[in-house]
Structure 1
Amino acid sequence: MLLFLSLLLVPVLTGPALPPPCVTHCAEISIGKLERLLVEGDVILRYGNGFWSPLCRDVSSREKRFSHAGIVVSGHDGLGVIHASGGEFTGSGAVSHEPLEAFLASAIDYSVYRIDNERVSGKRIAGNAAALIGRPFDRAFDLDDGGRRMYCTELVRDAVNNAAGFTVIGTTSVHGTAIVAPDDCYAHALFRKVADKTTFQGTGG
Protein backbone atom coordinates (compact mmCIF):
# COMPACT_ATOMS: atom_id res chain seq x y z
CA MET A 1 0.00 0.00 0.00
CA LEU A 2 2.71 2.46 0.94
CA LEU A 3 4.55 2.31 -2.38
CA PHE A 4 1.31 2.32 -4.39
CA LEU A 5 -0.12 5.26 -2.50
CA SER A 6 3.03 7.30 -2.73
CA LEU A 7 3.48 6.66 -6.45
CA LEU A 8 -0.15 7.40 -7.16
CA LEU A 9 -0.60 10.49 -5.07
CA VAL A 10 2.77 12.22 -4.73
CA PRO A 11 2.38 14.00 -8.10
CA VAL A 12 -0.85 15.48 -6.79
CA LEU A 13 1.15 17.32 -4.13
CA THR A 14 2.77 19.53 -6.74
CA GLY A 15 -0.34 21.73 -6.75
CA PRO A 16 -1.29 24.13 -3.97
CA ALA A 17 -2.68 22.49 -0.86
CA LEU A 18 -4.92 24.21 1.61
CA PRO A 19 -3.71 23.99 5.21
CA PRO A 20 -6.17 22.53 7.68
CA PRO A 21 -8.40 25.38 8.88
CA CYS A 22 -8.08 24.40 12.54
CA VAL A 23 -5.08 23.73 14.72
CA THR A 24 -6.90 22.46 17.80
CA HIS A 25 -7.84 18.82 18.15
CA CYS A 26 -11.46 17.79 17.99
CA ALA A 27 -11.16 16.16 21.41
CA GLU A 28 -11.64 19.69 22.74
CA ILE A 29 -15.22 19.87 21.44
CA SER A 30 -18.27 18.67 23.31
CA ILE A 31 -19.06 15.21 21.96
CA GLY A 32 -22.46 15.39 23.64
CA LYS A 33 -23.32 18.57 21.77
CA LEU A 34 -22.12 17.09 18.50
CA GLU A 35 -24.10 13.88 19.00
CA ARG A 36 -27.32 15.88 19.26
CA LEU A 37 -26.77 17.14 15.71
CA LEU A 38 -26.06 13.77 14.09
CA VAL A 39 -28.19 10.83 12.99
CA GLU A 40 -27.53 7.37 11.59
CA GLY A 41 -26.26 7.37 8.05
CA ASP A 42 -24.49 10.72 8.21
CA VAL A 43 -21.14 10.87 6.43
CA ILE A 44 -18.35 12.07 8.70
CA LEU A 45 -14.95 13.18 7.44
CA ARG A 46 -11.83 14.14 9.34
CA TYR A 47 -8.29 15.34 8.77
CA GLY A 48 -5.87 13.49 10.98
CA ASN A 49 -2.25 13.80 12.03
CA GLY A 50 -1.01 10.56 10.48
CA PHE A 51 1.93 10.24 8.12
CA TRP A 52 -0.34 9.59 5.11
CA SER A 53 -2.99 12.19 5.97
CA PRO A 54 -1.62 14.92 3.65
CA LEU A 55 -1.43 12.49 0.72
CA CYS A 56 -4.98 11.24 1.24
CA ARG A 57 -6.24 14.80 1.64
CA ASP A 58 -4.56 16.07 -1.51
CA VAL A 59 -6.10 13.45 -3.80
CA SER A 60 -9.29 15.56 -3.58
CA SER A 61 -9.76 17.88 -6.53
CA ARG A 62 -12.39 20.29 -5.15
CA GLU A 63 -11.58 20.79 -1.47
CA LYS A 64 -8.30 19.54 -0.04
CA ARG A 65 -9.47 19.35 3.54
CA PHE A 66 -10.11 15.76 4.73
CA SER A 67 -8.11 12.54 4.74
CA HIS A 68 -10.51 9.95 6.18
CA ALA A 69 -14.24 9.17 6.14
CA GLY A 70 -16.83 6.94 7.78
CA ILE A 71 -20.53 6.41 8.42
CA VAL A 72 -22.28 7.46 11.64
CA VAL A 73 -24.22 4.67 13.38
CA SER A 74 -26.13 4.48 16.65
CA GLY A 75 -25.79 1.97 19.46
CA HIS A 76 -26.48 1.37 23.13
CA ASP A 77 -23.49 3.51 24.10
CA GLY A 78 -24.32 6.43 21.81
CA LEU A 79 -23.13 7.26 18.34
CA GLY A 80 -20.22 5.53 16.67
CA VAL A 81 -18.48 5.49 13.32
CA ILE A 82 -17.95 2.57 10.96
CA HIS A 83 -14.84 3.05 8.87
CA ALA A 84 -12.07 1.17 7.10
CA SER A 85 -8.51 1.75 8.22
CA GLY A 86 -5.11 0.13 7.94
CA GLY A 87 -1.86 0.32 9.86
CA GLU A 88 0.17 3.35 8.95
CA PHE A 89 3.24 1.37 7.89
CA THR A 90 1.79 -2.11 7.25
CA GLY A 91 -1.56 -1.46 5.59
CA SER A 92 -3.09 -4.25 7.65
CA GLY A 93 -6.55 -3.55 9.03
CA ALA A 94 -10.27 -3.96 8.51
CA VAL A 95 -13.64 -2.26 8.57
CA SER A 96 -14.47 -1.58 12.20
CA HIS A 97 -16.72 0.33 14.58
CA GLU A 98 -15.50 2.79 17.17
CA PRO A 99 -17.15 5.46 19.35
CA LEU A 100 -17.57 8.91 17.84
CA GLU A 101 -15.26 10.41 20.45
CA ALA A 102 -12.49 7.94 19.60
CA PHE A 103 -12.90 8.58 15.88
CA LEU A 104 -12.36 12.31 16.44
CA ALA A 105 -9.79 12.07 19.23
CA SER A 106 -6.73 12.73 17.07
CA ALA A 107 -8.51 14.72 14.36
CA ILE A 108 -7.44 18.24 13.52
CA ASP A 109 -10.49 19.04 11.41
CA TYR A 110 -13.84 17.41 10.67
CA SER A 111 -17.22 17.92 9.01
CA VAL A 112 -20.47 15.93 8.80
CA TYR A 113 -22.84 15.70 5.83
CA ARG A 114 -26.33 14.26 5.37
CA ILE A 115 -28.30 13.31 2.27
CA ASP A 116 -31.27 15.64 2.05
CA ASN A 117 -33.66 13.18 0.41
CA GLU A 118 -36.43 11.32 2.23
CA ARG A 119 -36.16 8.38 -0.16
CA VAL A 120 -32.57 7.70 0.93
CA SER A 121 -32.75 6.10 4.37
CA GLY A 122 -30.03 6.94 6.85
CA LYS A 123 -30.75 3.69 8.65
CA ARG A 124 -30.18 1.79 5.43
CA ILE A 125 -26.88 3.58 4.87
CA ALA A 126 -25.83 2.67 8.41
CA GLY A 127 -26.96 -0.92 7.91
CA ASN A 128 -24.98 -1.22 4.70
CA ALA A 129 -21.88 0.03 6.50
CA ALA A 130 -22.43 -2.34 9.44
CA ALA A 131 -22.66 -5.30 7.06
CA LEU A 132 -19.07 -4.59 6.00
CA ILE A 133 -17.53 -4.81 9.49
CA GLY A 134 -14.62 -7.21 9.39
CA ARG A 135 -13.96 -6.74 5.68
CA PRO A 136 -10.16 -6.45 5.17
CA PHE A 137 -8.68 -3.05 4.47
CA ASP A 138 -7.90 -2.48 0.79
CA ARG A 139 -4.27 -1.46 0.82
CA ALA A 140 -4.19 -1.61 -3.00
CA PHE A 141 -7.02 0.95 -3.31
CA ASP A 142 -8.56 -1.28 -5.96
CA LEU A 143 -12.19 -0.53 -6.87
CA ASP A 144 -12.30 -3.53 -9.21
CA ASP A 145 -11.87 -6.30 -6.64
CA GLY A 146 -15.60 -6.91 -6.21
CA GLY A 147 -15.63 -5.33 -2.76
CA ARG A 148 -13.54 -8.09 -1.19
CA ARG A 149 -11.48 -5.38 0.47
CA MET A 150 -12.44 -1.81 1.38
CA TYR A 151 -10.74 1.51 1.94
CA CYS A 152 -12.50 4.26 3.87
CA THR A 153 -14.07 6.33 1.12
CA GLU A 154 -14.92 3.21 -0.87
CA LEU A 155 -16.95 1.99 2.13
CA VAL A 156 -18.79 5.32 2.30
CA ARG A 157 -19.50 5.25 -1.43
CA ASP A 158 -20.90 1.71 -1.38
CA ALA A 159 -22.99 2.24 1.77
CA VAL A 160 -24.56 5.41 0.38
CA ASN A 161 -25.01 4.38 -3.26
CA ASN A 162 -26.53 1.01 -2.40
CA ALA A 163 -29.00 2.70 -0.06
CA ALA A 164 -29.92 5.31 -2.67
CA GLY A 165 -30.19 2.96 -5.63
CA PHE A 166 -28.32 5.43 -7.82
CA THR A 167 -24.90 7.07 -7.91
CA VAL A 168 -24.61 9.74 -5.25
CA ILE A 169 -20.89 9.35 -4.67
CA GLY A 170 -18.65 9.02 -7.71
CA THR A 171 -14.91 8.78 -8.27
CA THR A 172 -11.94 10.93 -9.15
CA SER A 173 -9.37 9.95 -11.77
CA VAL A 174 -5.79 10.20 -10.55
CA HIS A 175 -3.30 9.49 -13.33
CA GLY A 176 -5.83 7.22 -15.01
CA THR A 177 -6.82 5.34 -11.86
CA ALA A 178 -10.30 5.72 -10.38
CA ILE A 179 -10.19 6.65 -6.69
CA VAL A 180 -12.98 7.66 -4.32
CA ALA A 181 -11.51 10.91 -3.02
CA PRO A 182 -12.59 12.41 0.29
CA ASP A 183 -14.40 15.28 -1.38
CA ASP A 184 -16.32 12.85 -3.62
CA CYS A 185 -18.12 11.76 -0.45
CA TYR A 186 -20.08 15.02 -0.18
CA ALA A 187 -19.85 16.66 -3.62
CA HIS A 188 -23.36 15.71 -4.78
CA ALA A 189 -26.04 18.40 -4.49
CA LEU A 190 -28.11 16.09 -2.27
CA PHE A 191 -25.63 16.47 0.58
CA ARG A 192 -25.99 19.21 3.16
CA LYS A 193 -23.59 20.02 5.96
CA VAL A 194 -24.95 19.41 9.47
CA ALA A 195 -21.84 20.03 11.58
CA ASP A 196 -18.41 21.50 11.03
CA LYS A 197 -15.28 21.95 13.12
CA THR A 198 -14.64 25.49 11.93
CA THR A 199 -17.95 26.85 13.19
CA PHE A 200 -19.50 23.96 15.11
CA GLN A 201 -22.92 25.09 13.95
CA GLY A 202 -25.66 22.64 13.04
CA THR A 203 -27.95 23.27 10.10
CA GLY A 204 -30.53 20.75 11.07
CA GLY A 205 -30.93 17.64 13.09
Structure 2
Amino acid sequence: MKLTSSMVVAMVFMVTATFSRAEKEAWRDHVVAAVRPGSVVARRGLDNDPITQAVLFGQGGGKWSHVGIAVQLIPDGQIYIESAMPGVGTKLEKPEVFFNAEQASAGEVLLIPEDKVDAVQGAAKSFLGRPFDDQLALDDDGKKLYCTELVAVALQSAGVIKNLPMRSTPFLTQKVIAPDDLVAAVRSTVL
Protein backbone atom coordinates (compact mmCIF):
# COMPACT_ATOMS: atom_id res chain seq x y z
CA MET A 1 0.00 0.00 0.00
CA LYS A 2 1.38 3.36 -1.02
CA LEU A 3 0.92 6.24 1.42
CA THR A 4 0.10 9.57 -0.11
CA SER A 5 1.38 12.76 1.44
CA SER A 6 -2.14 13.72 2.54
CA MET A 7 -2.52 10.37 4.33
CA VAL A 8 0.79 10.93 6.13
CA VAL A 9 -0.25 14.45 7.14
CA ALA A 10 -3.61 13.14 8.41
CA MET A 11 -1.89 10.41 10.45
CA VAL A 12 0.58 12.88 11.95
CA PHE A 13 -2.30 15.23 12.83
CA MET A 14 -4.27 12.43 14.54
CA VAL A 15 -1.27 11.30 16.58
CA THR A 16 -0.45 14.88 17.58
CA ALA A 17 -4.06 15.67 18.51
CA THR A 18 -4.37 12.48 20.56
CA PHE A 19 -1.10 13.19 22.41
CA SER A 20 -2.09 16.83 23.05
CA ARG A 21 -5.51 15.82 24.39
CA ALA A 22 -3.96 13.18 26.69
CA GLU A 23 -1.35 15.65 27.92
CA LYS A 24 -4.02 18.31 28.47
CA GLU A 25 -6.11 15.88 30.57
CA ALA A 26 -3.16 14.55 32.63
CA TRP A 27 -3.98 17.08 35.36
CA ARG A 28 -7.07 15.05 36.23
CA ASP A 29 -5.19 11.89 37.28
CA HIS A 30 -2.63 13.95 39.19
CA VAL A 31 -5.29 15.90 41.11
CA VAL A 32 -7.43 12.83 41.93
CA ALA A 33 -4.32 11.01 43.22
CA ALA A 34 -3.41 13.99 45.44
CA VAL A 35 -6.72 14.02 47.37
CA ARG A 36 -6.26 13.24 51.07
CA PRO A 37 -8.73 13.35 53.96
CA GLY A 38 -9.34 16.91 55.12
CA SER A 39 -7.94 18.52 51.99
CA VAL A 40 -9.70 21.42 50.30
CA VAL A 41 -10.38 20.78 46.63
CA ALA A 42 -11.19 23.34 43.96
CA ARG A 43 -12.37 22.88 40.43
CA ARG A 44 -13.17 25.02 37.48
CA GLY A 45 -16.36 23.97 35.75
CA LEU A 46 -16.84 23.84 32.02
CA ASP A 47 -16.86 27.02 29.96
CA ASN A 48 -20.36 26.23 28.63
CA ASP A 49 -21.84 25.81 32.13
CA PRO A 50 -23.98 28.80 33.18
CA ILE A 51 -23.32 28.29 36.91
CA THR A 52 -19.56 28.25 36.30
CA GLN A 53 -19.87 31.44 34.27
CA ALA A 54 -22.02 33.13 36.95
CA VAL A 55 -19.54 32.26 39.72
CA LEU A 56 -16.57 33.43 37.68
CA PHE A 57 -18.39 36.65 36.74
CA GLY A 58 -19.35 37.25 40.38
CA GLN A 59 -15.72 37.13 41.45
CA GLY A 60 -14.54 39.26 38.55
CA GLY A 61 -13.04 36.39 36.56
CA GLY A 62 -10.75 34.06 38.39
CA LYS A 63 -9.84 30.43 38.24
CA TRP A 64 -12.18 28.38 40.44
CA SER A 65 -15.95 27.95 40.37
CA HIS A 66 -16.55 25.19 42.96
CA VAL A 67 -14.91 23.88 46.14
CA GLY A 68 -15.30 20.98 48.53
CA ILE A 69 -13.61 19.09 51.37
CA ALA A 70 -12.26 15.55 51.20
CA VAL A 71 -13.74 13.33 53.93
CA GLN A 72 -13.68 9.70 54.96
CA LEU A 73 -16.86 8.42 56.57
CA ILE A 74 -14.94 5.60 58.26
CA PRO A 75 -11.20 5.45 59.06
CA ASP A 76 -9.19 4.07 56.13
CA GLY A 77 -12.38 3.98 54.03
CA GLN A 78 -13.20 5.53 50.67
CA ILE A 79 -12.36 9.23 50.38
CA TYR A 80 -15.23 11.40 49.16
CA ILE A 81 -15.51 15.06 48.26
CA GLU A 82 -18.24 16.80 50.24
CA SER A 83 -19.65 19.88 48.56
CA ALA A 84 -22.88 21.86 48.35
CA MET A 85 -24.71 21.94 45.02
CA PRO A 86 -27.82 23.82 43.82
CA GLY A 87 -30.92 21.64 43.91
CA VAL A 88 -29.09 18.92 45.86
CA GLY A 89 -27.58 20.42 49.00
CA THR A 90 -24.52 18.92 50.60
CA LYS A 91 -23.44 15.73 48.90
CA LEU A 92 -20.61 13.26 48.59
CA GLU A 93 -18.82 12.29 45.39
CA LYS A 94 -15.77 10.17 44.75
CA PRO A 95 -12.81 12.34 43.65
CA GLU A 96 -12.86 10.88 40.14
CA VAL A 97 -16.51 11.96 39.82
CA PHE A 98 -15.94 15.43 41.34
CA PHE A 99 -13.15 16.05 38.81
CA ASN A 100 -14.64 14.18 35.83
CA ALA A 101 -14.52 15.64 32.32
CA GLU A 102 -18.29 16.33 32.30
CA GLN A 103 -17.99 18.88 35.10
CA ALA A 104 -14.36 19.96 35.55
CA SER A 105 -11.84 21.61 33.26
CA ALA A 106 -9.17 22.14 35.96
CA GLY A 107 -8.61 21.18 39.57
CA GLU A 108 -6.41 21.68 42.59
CA VAL A 109 -5.91 20.00 45.97
CA LEU A 110 -4.80 21.98 49.03
CA LEU A 111 -3.58 19.79 51.85
CA ILE A 112 -4.46 20.79 55.40
CA PRO A 113 -1.95 20.48 58.28
CA GLU A 114 -2.07 16.95 59.66
CA ASP A 115 -3.04 18.13 63.15
CA LYS A 116 -6.21 19.78 61.72
CA VAL A 117 -7.43 16.94 59.45
CA ASP A 118 -9.74 15.27 61.99
CA ALA A 119 -11.29 18.59 63.05
CA VAL A 120 -11.83 19.65 59.41
CA GLN A 121 -13.42 16.32 58.50
CA GLY A 122 -15.60 16.33 61.62
CA ALA A 123 -16.85 19.85 60.92
CA ALA A 124 -17.52 19.07 57.26
CA LYS A 125 -19.34 15.82 58.02
CA SER A 126 -21.58 17.62 60.52
CA PHE A 127 -23.00 19.56 57.55
CA LEU A 128 -24.03 16.50 55.52
CA GLY A 129 -27.68 16.66 54.51
CA ARG A 130 -28.00 20.44 54.69
CA PRO A 131 -29.95 22.06 51.83
CA PHE A 132 -28.28 24.38 49.33
CA ASP A 133 -28.43 28.10 50.10
CA ASP A 134 -29.83 29.68 46.93
CA GLN A 135 -29.69 33.11 48.60
CA LEU A 136 -25.95 32.79 49.37
CA ALA A 137 -26.66 34.16 52.84
CA LEU A 138 -24.12 33.88 55.62
CA ASP A 139 -26.50 34.95 58.37
CA ASP A 140 -28.68 31.85 58.80
CA ASP A 141 -26.36 29.95 61.18
CA GLY A 142 -25.56 27.36 58.51
CA LYS A 143 -29.11 26.02 58.12
CA LYS A 144 -28.48 26.17 54.37
CA LEU A 145 -25.04 26.20 52.75
CA TYR A 146 -23.41 27.05 49.45
CA CYS A 147 -20.11 25.42 48.49
CA THR A 148 -17.64 28.00 49.73
CA GLU A 149 -19.65 28.61 52.89
CA LEU A 150 -19.54 24.89 53.72
CA VAL A 151 -15.77 24.75 53.28
CA ALA A 152 -15.00 28.10 54.96
CA VAL A 153 -17.15 27.44 58.03
CA ALA A 154 -15.65 23.95 58.43
CA LEU A 155 -12.13 25.37 58.15
CA GLN A 156 -12.92 28.19 60.54
CA SER A 157 -14.43 25.85 63.13
CA ALA A 158 -11.35 23.58 62.85
CA GLY A 159 -9.02 26.54 63.38
CA VAL A 160 -7.46 26.44 59.91
CA ILE A 161 -8.60 29.95 58.93
CA LYS A 162 -9.50 32.76 61.30
CA ASN A 163 -11.80 34.94 59.20
CA LEU A 164 -14.22 34.20 56.39
CA PRO A 165 -12.87 35.78 53.19
CA MET A 166 -15.92 37.79 52.09
CA ARG A 167 -16.43 40.16 49.17
CA SER A 168 -19.13 42.21 47.51
CA THR A 169 -20.32 40.95 44.14
CA PRO A 170 -22.51 42.36 41.38
CA PHE A 171 -26.26 41.80 41.77
CA LEU A 172 -26.10 40.74 45.45
CA THR A 173 -26.75 42.98 48.43
CA GLN A 174 -24.83 40.80 50.90
CA LYS A 175 -21.19 39.77 50.86
CA VAL A 176 -20.28 36.25 49.78
CA ILE A 177 -17.30 33.91 49.95
CA ALA A 178 -15.87 33.47 46.44
CA PRO A 179 -13.98 30.28 45.50
CA ASP A 180 -10.78 32.10 44.51
CA ASP A 181 -10.76 34.06 47.79
CA LEU A 182 -11.24 30.90 49.83
CA VAL A 183 -8.45 29.08 47.97
CA ALA A 184 -6.15 32.07 48.55
CA ALA A 185 -7.03 32.15 52.27
CA VAL A 186 -6.27 28.42 52.60
CA ARG A 187 -3.00 28.78 50.69
CA SER A 188 -1.83 31.66 52.88
CA THR A 189 -2.63 29.66 56.02
CA VAL A 190 -1.12 26.31 55.12
CA LEU A 191 1.96 27.35 53.12
- TM-score, normalising length: structure 2: 0.73
Equivalent residue, structure 2, for 1:178: 175
In angstroms, what is the RMSD of aligned CA positions?
Answer: 2.9
Structure 1 residues 80 and 142 mapped into 2: Cα distance closer, same or farther (>3 Å)?
same
Q: Report how many residues are paired.
A: 162
Higher strand share: 1
Q: Which residue of 1 aligns with 2:70?
A: 72
The one of 108, 123, 132 equivalent to 1:128 is 123
Q: Retained in 2: the 8 A contact 1:70–1:153?
A: yes
Q: Quote how far apart the aligned CAs of 1:191 are.
A: 3.3
Indicate the residue corresponding to 1:190 in structure 2.
189
1:129 and 1:185 map into 2 onto residues whose CA distance is: 15
- Say whether 1:156 aligns with 2:155: no
Runs of at least 5 residues in structure 1 that lack an aligned partner in the other structure: 1-22, 87-91, 193-205
The 8 Å contact of residues 71 and 81 in structure 1, kept in 2 or not, is answered as yes
More helix by share: 2
Matches within 5 A, 1:28-177: 28-29=25-26, 34-49=31-46, 50-60=49-59, 64-74=62-72, 78-86=78-86, 92-105=87-100, 106-115=103-112, 117=113, 121-164=116-159, 167-174=162-169, 177=174
**Does 1 or 2 have the higher relative contact order (CA < 8 Å, sep 6+)?**
1
CA distance in 2, matches of 1:81, 1:149: 18
Identity of aligned residues (%): 27
Aligned positions of 1:13-24 closer than 5 A: none
For structure 2, the residue ranges without an aligned partner over 5 or more in a row are: 1-19
Work out the CA distance in 2 between the residues paired with 1:55 and 1:178.
Answer: 15
Query: Which residue in 2 is equivalent to 1:20?
Result: none
Q: Given the two structures, how large is their TM-score scaled by the length of structure 1?
A: 0.68
